[in-house]
Amino acid sequence: MSYMVVDHDPQMLQQLQRKNIPYVFSDASNVDLYRDCLTKGVKIVISTIRDFDDDREVISTAKKYNPDVMVIVTTNHLKEALEFYEHGADYVIMPDYLSADHTGLMLEEIGFNIDKLLEKKTSHLERICFEKGEDFIGILGKW
């Protein structure tokens, strides 16, 4: 097993189950979980918790049981990102920066072409509907 998702949100777990993604229903404070997963070959730990103390615990616990495991955490705060790197995170996801980068790339790709923008919108709506288990055609009919 190269990865596993740990979450305590039942709705998220339903989505993971539909996609056949390996998951465990737990929370970040379950130290035994990390020991078990990391001794079974998990190579990457990704935390989207966005709680500074919990993410620091994720980093230190994961690295304790496997110093070579890749650990990725998430924050919107520059100070926290720097502290996570100092604490041993291999990468820190910063959604605000990623969304700005993505929007810039998308605008470079589509320019001022409304048809291309509508294609992006349709693709985005399809993904949102899939994630929420909604009927895409029914949603389109509302517009």
Q: Which domains are seen in the chain, by residue range?
A: 1-93 (3.40.50.720), 96-143 (no CATH)
pLDDT digit string (tens) for 22-52? 777 777 667 777 777 777 778 888 888 888 9
Dihedral sign of CA atoms 33, 25, 75, 46 in order: positive
How far is it, in rounded angstroms, from Cα 61 to Cα 38? 10
Coil vs helix vs strand at 122: helix
Could you tell me what percentage of the chain is helix, strand and coil, using 3-state DSSP and rounding each to the nearest 5?
Answer: 60, 10, 30
Stretch 16-22: mean pLDDT: 82
Stretch 98-111: mean pLDDT: 91
- Please tell me the pTM assigned to this model: 0.72
